[in-house]
Amino acid sequence: MRIGIIGCGVAGSVLAEMLREAPGFAVDVFDRMARGEEAEAGTGLNCGPNAMKALRLHLPARHAALRAASLPWTRWIIETAEGQRLFDLDLREVAEEPGIRLRWSELYRQLRGPVADATHHGLELVAVEEDAAGRLVPVLEAPDGARLRPRGYELLVAGDGRYSALRRLTAGVPQPALHGIAMTRLLVPDAADCPFDEYGQWFNGNARLLAYRLPGGAAYIAGGFPLASASAEIAPEARTAAFQRALYTPPDGQACPAVAWMVERLAAGVGQIHWARLQDAPLLRTAAAGRVLFLGDAAHAMVPTLGQGATQAIEDGVVAGALLRRGGGAEDVAAWRDTRIDFVRRFSLEATDTMFPGGDPVAGSIAKGEPEFLAKLRRLYTDVPGPEEFAPVRV
């Protein structure tokens, strides 16, 4: 079976590795980025214990490589900006192993390395055609404008992320739902004096800072604050040091050391902040009568509250690979994945309660220590199928 994967991001590279040595498969991966362009990409991220379980069960070499390139994510604390502890969880109480925290560039390097020989860089999907045998042919554009039609594929896989061209070309542009929260991300490369280590969240009203240390002495700070309405833009005055400082500083000015440190770093690095709005897009798994399969953000862009975007992209790649190897197709991936994705998306939105205007950050954070929330976290972090659970689909 010839499979063309558009996008060598998280889901695309995991799927390519799952199929790399499988008999009967020929896989080509196309990405618009030049080879090695990820070196400076993005900020930091945390991948959930469920991504690590999926890799441990299906791609143990990738699991080991990512563990070696990351710091473990074993703890989650929530405090007020003054430092009052509201929630403190050892993740191993609800998971089989810790998650990880690392830089985006490192995640991409680790996932893309094993499939480098199957990846064609600097090629952007701009159209999809069909050959005489009914196979889909991607039309790819090089930086000099030259167009390439590599061949027809029995299956085209969208691993091209939130603004997927393959989804737009075969199923139309998904209408995102905006949730009225601004998100900021900042990488602090030199964080030697950072007064925290593991994953923490700090609330000042509904404004929230989230931060943790990264390998190599860096730290990651993510902010979130309510906007005037669900579809409001982020105002220019919000993008200033003074606004960011006021947003997270408690009314009496007495921020705990972690928040005081982050406020200074945000103010100093305001020009380097990445800005986004909290949003998700409707789930879609297949198009073109099963000849297109959507994975990761191309299928189900979700709110980042529980750090499940890249995490679910890893699960997608692993499960899709296991099913394709057993003779399954796009519909089988939908059958295996979409109930879980629905749960993850609902749970991620539910966990955002403390950030919405009117949400109670103190009561809402304390409630995350209750059995009901912890049972859902356990389901999130452990409900990952191993290879033995996939029976042959078709012979």
Ligand X SMILES: Cc1cc2nc3c(=O)[nH]c(=O)nc-3n(C[C@H](O)[C@H](O)[C@H](O)COP(=O)(O)OP(=O)(O)OC[C@H]3O[C@@H](n4cnc5c(N)ncnc54)[C@H](O)[C@@H]3O)c2cc1C
Rounded distance between C-alpha atoms, residue 89 and residue 384, angstroms: 21
**Binds ligand X (CB under 6 A): choice among 98, 161, 200, 328:** 161
CA-CA-CA-CA dihedral for 364, 89, 68, 9, to nearest 10: -20
Provide the residue type at 149 as one letter: R
Of 136, 117, 97, nearest to 16 by C-alpha is: 117
The verdict on 376 binding ligand X (CB under 6 A) reads no
3-state secondary structure at position 86: strand
Q: Give the number of residues in contact with ligand X, rule: CB under 6 A.
A: 33
Q: Is 165 in the site for ligand X (CB under 6 A)?
A: yes
Q: Does 188 bind ligand X (CB under 6 A)?
A: no
Distance CA 358, CA 58 (A): 43
Helix 330-350, helix 309-325: angle, nearest 10 = 160
Task: Rule CB under 6 A: say whether 313 interacts with ligand X.
Answer: yes
To ligand X, the closest distance from the beta carbon of 116 in angstroms equals 13
With CB under 6 A as the contact rule, which of the stretches 149-157, 159-167, 172-180, 356-364 interacts with ligand X? 159-167
Q: Which of 19, 25, 27, 46 binds ligand X (CB under 6 A)?
A: 46
Helix 330-350 to helix 371-382 angle, to the nearest 10 degrees? 150
Residues numbered 16 to 45 that lie near ligand X (CB under 6 A) are: 30-33, 45
- 344: tokens are 């993850």
CB of 10 to ligand X, least distance (A): 3
Q: Pick between residue 6 and residue 258 the one whose CB is nearest to ligand X.
A: 6
Which listed residue (3, 5, 6, 94) binds ligand X by CB under 6 A? 6
- Closest to ligand X by CB, 137 vs 260, is 137
Q: Is 160 an interacting residue with respect to ligand X (CB under 6 A)?
A: yes
E strand intervals along the chain: 2-6, 26-31, 44-47, 71-73, 75-80, 85-90, 99-103, 119-121, 124-130, 136-141, 147-148, 155-158, 177-188, 199-204, 207-214, 218-226, 274-280, 286-287, 292-294
In the complex, least distance from residue 114 CB atom to ligand X, rounded to whole angstroms: 15
Nearer to ligand X, 40 or 389 (CB): 40
Where along the sequence are the contacts to ligand X (CB under 6 A)?
6-12, 30-33, 45-47, 124-125, 159-161, 165, 183, 185, 276, 296-298, 304, 307-311, 313
